[in-house]
Structure 1
Amino acid sequence: MTILNLIGAELRRLVASPLARLAFVALMIVPLIYGGLYLWANRDPYSALDKVPAALVVEDTGANVDGSTTNYGDDMAKGVLDGHDFDWSETDADTAAAGVRNGDYDFSITLPADFSRDLASASTDSPTQARITLTTSDTNSYLISTIAGQAAKTIRSEIAEQVGEEAANQFLVGLATIRDDLSDAYDGASQLADGAASAADGADRLADGTSALADGAATLSSGADTLASGLGRLNSQTSALPGQASTLSSGAAQVAAGNAQLAQAGAKAAEDSAAAAAAVPVARADLEAALRATGALTQEQIDEIMTELDPIGDAVLTTDATVQGVNGQLGALATGSAQVAAGAKALSDATPTLAGAVAQATAGADRLSTGAESLSSGAATARDGAAALRDGVDQLATGSSTLRDGLKSGIDQIPDSTDAQRSAQAATIGNPVDVTTDDLAEATDYGAGLAPFFLSLAAWIGLYALFLIVKPLSRRAITALTKPWKVTLAGWLTPGVLGIVQAALLVTLAGSVLGFGIANPIGMFAFGALVALTFAAILLALNALLGSVGQFIGLVLMVVQLVTAGGTFPWQTLPEPLAWLHRLLPMSYSVDGYRHLMYGGSSGAVLADILVLVGWLLAALLVTYLTAARMTKFRTLRDLRPSLIG
């Protein structure tokens, strides 16, 4: 008997009667009904959330923001109601609470009275976190409570973005104002720095000038002391001057009078001398004439006599010249003596005034000395003050330059932005992160996300149901001592082929009827065939080895894999014993392979899944073969009289 004969005989047995055909068709469409209904029901539940009733309670009384009343609650309520994410109803707190309790609303969100006030407090000295109250009841639906929580977080994010954008805009406007003020301060600091630099130059000159003044004042003080000392000595020495001047005046008058008398006598003598001098030539001529008249003497003798007498005449003439010179000097002496007398008289008259003036000058010199000393001390103090002023002004110049440079640095670090730029910056600060999804492998919707799990689960259920009517091994073939491997292949291919048909129908239903996107349709059909053959081999081995107990274990394995396959939540969240089962059991790999083929994932991962499934398939066929080989050699009581539980 060939393998095809065994398969054909089994198939004919399954459709031998109308009731058998009905049962066969019913069991064949079990995975379609199970998988199709689940996938249809969960195709895209999030698109129907606008039918979920929810209550919105706005108790916000508003707040004063920048001089005007702002009600963030009303603004947020308008956005929520206009969004139509849920079937929102705006109502009061009591109605909302009662509605959530009795199921009229699945959940409610409340914006309290101080909502705007708390939001506005972020810019005050006492910031308070605003609250949103989410009211849920798991009696309405645990999942809808989870969805409501996400909705509340979304609303919170939108509020945070709006308020953050407003706060950031206010901050940036304030920063721009600060920049303008800093620019004004920088201009002032620049002027201050320039003025301080000029003041520093002036302070240097002032310090130099006051230093020179101090030196000059010291010199003046020393000179004033010397002057006062000299005038003091002069004053003491001129104290007797008036009396001496008076005596001098009297003596000068007497001298002038004597000189006048002497001048008169000299004038008389000069007159007489002049007359004598004038008589000399006449007397010589008369004498020469008298001698010549005597005739007693020759001319030579006369000349000799006259020669002897001429020195006397010359002496008279010389004496006359001398007398005339002395007379002139005596006249000048008389005139000078008179002037000296007059001067002495004036000196005598002025000496008391001079003495008083010298005394006054002495007193003034004393005051000058005292003032010069004070001036010197003050000039030294001024010099020290000017030096301190110079140092202070230098520090001021340095500090003002530092201030100017610091203000310039601060201005450079504050962006000079326009209103449009500040608006864009505020929007970015309010919502700084934009999540860009880069889907390496994307499920088209929620139903497509669950499809790999339900396709795997439906394949197991479909084959499990078929084994309710399909015999694992042909006992007639075993009794006829047919080769065990033929019996094994026939027992496996009969449900395997039917499972392939079920898998093909499921993939067609998901892709064509329900419209789920399939990235690799051919791969999906081929992989579905492998999954069906693997599950058929496993259930065949369980039924062949353990009978009805094996059938029950197949049900247990379905339940276990329902939990461990990772079809809904990531398998990494499972407790470690269940995670270990995930890594072991075949449905985990069928779900993973379907995902990669359906969403366009890694071909390498699909190959790894195929290898694991092939390993399960071969191991299960080996168990079935060993069981068939044992049954061809001997029978057990269970083989001859199988019980209800195997």
Structure 2
Amino acid sequence: MGNVLAILARDFKRLLKVPSAWVVAIGLVLIPPMYAWFNIRGFWNPYHNTKGVEVTVVNNDQGTTNKLIGKANLGSQIVTQLKANDQLGWNFADEQEGMDRVRSGKSYATIVIPKTFSKDLVDTITGTGNRPELKYYVNEKVSAIAPKITDTGAGTVDTQVNSTFVSTVSEVLSDALNTLNGTISTTAGTMQTNTVRSLDEAQSTISSARGKLATIISTMDSTPAKTKAARQSLASLQQAAVDAGNSLTATSTLITTAQNGLNDFAATTSSGLDQGTALLTQTMQETTGTINTVTAGLSKANTTAGNAVTTLQNANANTASVLDTLSNLPVSTPELKAAIAQLKASNENAAETLRGIQALNTSTGKSITAVSDLATSVNNAAQQSLTATSTARSAITSGALPQLNSGLGSLAGAAGTLGGGLSNQTALASQTDVVLDQLDKASTDTAAALRTTDKALAKLGTKLGTIATDINALSISSALSSMLGSDGELDTKRIASFMLSPTVLDTTVLYPVNSYGSGMAPLFTNMALWVGAFALVVIFKTESDSEGITAMTATQGYMGRFLFLAVFAALQGLAATIGDLLLGVQTVNAPMFILTGVLTSLVDLSLIFALSTAFLHVGKGICVALIMLQIPGASGLYPIEMMPDFFRTLYPFFPFNYSIKAFRETIGGFYDGHWAHNIVYLLLFTIIGFVIGLVVRPLMANTNRMFARQIRESDMIVGEDVHLPGTEYRISNVLQALTNHSGYKASIERRAARFEALYPKLKRGALIVGLVVPIILAVTFSLTTNTKLEALLAWVIWVLLIIGFLLTIEFMRDNLRRQRELGNLDDTAIRDTLAARNRRHAQ
């Protein structure tokens, strides 16, 4: 660090010893900021001086007469309005003078209103006219920006024409409505009354429907109690069927016993017949009682099922009636539609259950008939048996026994048939119980659906009531008072005024800037500081010599000269920003504005100094190219979104981008740490600059020496020697020369001779290709559209490739020259060179 400060002090002492150098130094500090000051002041408020931009208006409109509008000359109205407009320098002339003025450049544009303008515009009301046209002539040769300003003037005329036309038509139509319709208040009152009446009718219909739904819901709620009674009857029926089956089994046994007794004892005694007759009579009585019990149970179950069928039929019919009523309501909501759909599905399920119960009821009736028929058969069989027994008493030996056996067999068959019938009735009772379960579920679902429907109807009724209340409360006179006069008719003048300007734009400016100059200050200040830093490396020497400095290293020399130039760069930043503030550039924080300028100037210097020392004149050319790219590509003038893709891609890599944003924060107002964010990104370019200067530059030492030597030989280009501590010879070449001096020299001489013979051909070929290929590229891209930027980029890349090739062959030639120079040294000089190299590395 001591050598760095020593270099800085030495350089300032050199400067102070020469008074004329002070003038140059002061000029370097003040002249670049003047670029920003003059541009900022020149662009301070250009859009407030547009009244000096002349636009000629030619009015050829002859006017028109229309039944609705009467006499109208819209061209004259436009001219009257423009004379009161100071947005531009309006000039009014005939067509010949107007065209002469725009062609000569005295007027930037001319607007011609044609003869039939009013007629065409008014005829559009009836649909018979042509679309009117304003002829607009603009001279774009005079200025690049003026056409954009005159376009605004043409837009102003077009807007005024449309506004005037809409206002006039609105006034005419309002008069026509007043003539045809009388007063709007009466019509509005009638519409209000009719609407309220319709809403009341809808509410009444909904109330009626809800009453029917309440009845149906009550019926559905009572269904489970009825089905419970039916289940109890079915349970009694099943028990009676079991008892009857047991009785019939006992009867069959008794009949068999009677037959056996008759057969065994008929021959010897008639007392058996008496016993059999008594037993038969007893059996007949028990059987008849059992049959009567079963028949009574079936009848009761059939009656209960019939009542359920009747109830479900009534509920089904009432539900269908409610569905019809709801479907015909004048108002419908999504909730009501969903309730109607659910109610329809429930009603269809109930109808299906009803059909099942009806079928079951019919089967039960048939079973009752069958049981009654069986009872008759039993009685007939019993009577036949008794008759046979009586006959047997008188003629037991005359063949009556077989007849008795036959009667008993018939009776046993009848008892078996009756037992089977009773078993079937038990299964039928089980099926009936399942159907009753279905009936319970159907009635529950139907009741739930009906309750949902009732809630939807209640909500709809409430909404209709609210709407009716709002309509009743609405005063037509207050709602339309802004358009109706005291007589109830449309106020045509007020409507026309409203249509002329229906909206008012309420503008709130965030972070306001006092002038266009303040808005452009970030760009112009950045350009001035970049040019100022570039001027420093052009006027002052960039190489630091070792005079008066002991054992100076490359890094020390670089940092010492950078700090020397940084003092002037910081002064440039101070002068530029303080001058901006004196001109009136807005700022919300003056110290931060000045600090931003100083940091920007130092960052610019770090990049420019690094490129200029690492690549000499090529680096300086890169610095010029960078400012050309950053003016359109750093969003200083136009938003980056308006730029081509090429600039939008490079946008994040430009230091101007972050410096301009930081300046804007100090001018318009700070937000959420944006200033610090941009300053951090800006300082990253300083790191890039030092990497180039401290790492890349030493690697370019021999190349830079070659450039400096050739520039000096040209005797036309200003240059300076490279004072970079190091060696021109590679350590490998030095060792070869010391090991076999004569052999090394002979080998290098042969290689140099071969390259010298090839060198002119390589250079001539590169020049030819460098000219031919750009011509081919130009022809190729001229045959395609929208590729101008791509063509320019391809041409630049090719030129850079050719330059790179030429630099390569020049570096190869210079490398051979240095190796030949090493070969011509004696061993002592070569050893001194190696020793000096070792000493520098040791330091």
TM tier relative to shorter chain: 0.5 to 0.7
CA drift at 1:525: 0.7
Preserved contact between residue 447 and residue 516 of structure 1 (Cα < 8 Å): yes
2:552 to 455, 459, 482: 482
- SS of residue in 2 equivalent to 1:518: coil
> What pairs with 1:67-106 in structure 2 (closer than 5 Å)?
68-106=70-108
Letter of the 1:103 partner, please give it. Answer: G
- Give the counterpart of 2:568 among 498, 507, 513: 498
Partner of 2:597: 528
In structure 1, how many angstroms separate the alpha carbons of the residues matched to 2:193 and 2:572?
Answer: 91
The alignment partner of 1:476 has SS state of coil
Aligned counterparts of 2:532 and 2:160: Cα–Cα separation in 1: 47
- 1:79 partner letter: Q
Match of 1:573 among 618, 638, 642: 642
Q: 1:546 to 1:189 in 2, by over 3 A?
A: closer
Aligned equivalent of 2:678 = 609
Aligned to 1:27: 28
Q: Using the alignment, how far apart are the partners of 2:608 and 2:546 within structure 1?
A: 21
Distance 1:431 1:190, change over 3 A: closer
The residue that corresponds to 2:131 in the other structure is: 129
Q: Give the 3-state SS of the residue equivalent to 1:582 in structure 2.
A: helix
Specify every segment of 5 or more residues in structure 2 that has no aligned partner in the other structure, as ranges. Answer: 195-467, 712-716, 720-843
Question: Is the CA contact 1:58–1:111 (under 8 Å) kept in the aligned structure 2?
Answer: yes
Residues 491 and 540 of structure 1 are in contact (CA less than 8 Å); yes or no, is this contact kept in structure 2? no
Written as runs of structure 1 = structure 2, the 5 A alignment for 1:542-557 is 542-557=611-626
SS at match of 2:49: helix
* Equivalence for 1:154: 156
Q: Which has the larger displacement, 428-437 or 588-597? A: 428-437
Same amino acid, percent of matched pairs: 20
Q: State the distance in 1 between where 2:143 and 2:552 align.
A: 58
- Verify: 1:458 aligned to 2:458, yes or no: no
Q: Aligned to 1:138, which of 123, 137, 140? A: 140
Amino acid at match of 2:705: L
- 1:319 maps to what in 2? none
**2 CA distance for matches of 1:43 and 1:186?**
58
How far apart, CA to CA, are the structure 1 residues paired with 2:666 and 2:177?
55
Opposite residue 37 of structure 2, the aligned amino acid is G
Give the direction of change, closer, same or farther, for the CA distance of 1:190–1:519 in structure 2 (3 Å limit).
Answer: closer
Deviates more, 1:36-45 or 1:176-185: 176-185
Q: Which sits farther off after the overlay, 456-465 or 51-60?
A: 51-60
In structure 1, how many angstroms separate the alpha carbons of the residues matched to 2:8 and 2:44?
38
Pairing 1:587–2:656 present: yes
* Partners of 2:192 and 2:532 in 1: CA distance: 89
In structure 2, distance between residues paired with 1:112 and 1:17: 74
Alpha-carbon shift at residue 485 of structure 1 (Å): 4.7
CA distance in 2, matches of 1:164, 1:448: 40
State the match for 2:669 in structure 1.
600
SS of 1:595's equivalent in the other structure is: helix
In 2, the alpha carbon distance for the partners of 1:428 and 1:13 equals 78
Q: Which residue of 2 aligns with 1:415?
A: 480
TM-aligned CA distance change 1:163 to 1:639, over 3 Å: closer
1:624: which partner in 2?
693
Q: Which whole-Å CA distance do the structure 1 matches of 2:190 and 2:669 have between them? A: 67
Shift of 1:123: 2.4
Change (3 A) 1:521 1:603: farther
Letter of the aligned partner of 1:94 in structure 2?
Q
Shift of 1:564: 0.9
CA separation of 1:431/1:467 partners in 2, compared to 1, >3 Å: closer, same or farther? same
User: Which of residues 437, 455, 466 in structure 1 aligns to 2:507?
Assistant: 437
Q: Distance in 2 between matches of 1:67 and 1:529?
A: 68
Partner of 2:293: none
Aligned equivalents of 1:105, 1:634: Cα separation in 2:
62
CA distance in 2, matches of 1:34, 1:78: 44
Determine if the alignment matches structure 1 residue 537 to structure 2 residue 606. yes
Paired amino acid for 1:544: T
**What are the residue-to-residue correspondences of 1:31-430 with 2, within 5 Å?**
31-64=32-65, 66=68, 68-175=70-177, 180-181=182-183, 415=480, 417-419=483-485, 423=493, 425-430=495-500
Q: Secondary structure of the residue that 1:611 maps to in structure 2?
A: helix
CA shift for structure 1 position 527: 1.0
5+ long unaligned stretches in structure 1 = 193-404
CA distance in 2, matches of 1:88, 1:64: 28
What residue identity is the alignment partner of 2:4?
I
- Are the structure 2 counterparts of residues 463 and 15 from structure 1 closer, same or farther at C-alpha, using a change threshold of 3 Å? farther
Distance 2:608 2:640 in 1: 24
Which protein, 1 or 2, shows the higher relative CO under an 8 Å CA cutoff with sep ≥ 6? 1
CA separation of 1:128/1:7 partners in 2, compared to 1, >3 Å: closer, same or farther? farther
**By how many angstroms is 1:586 displaced?**
0.8
Cα distance, 1:497 vs structure 2: 2.5
CA deviations over 1:119-151 (Å, ceiling 9, x no partner): 323422325433222211112113111110111
Say how many residue pairs are matched.
430
Cα distance in 1 for partners of 2:9, 2:703 equals 25
Q: Which residue of structure 2 aligns with residue 637 of structure 1?
A: 705
Worse-matched range after superposition: 165-174 or 612-621 = 165-174
Secondary structure in 1 matching 2:673: helix
Provide, for residues 219-242 of structure 1, a one-character-per-residue CA deviation record: whole Å limited to 9, x for no partner: xxxxxxxxxxxxxxxxxxxxxxxx
Task: Return the alpha-carbon distance in structure 2 between the equivalents of residues 188 and 576 of structure 1.
Answer: 64
RMSD: 3.5
CA distance in 2, matches of 1:187, 1:624: 88
Distance 1:623 1:129, change over 3 A: same
Q: CA deviation at 1:95?
A: 0.8
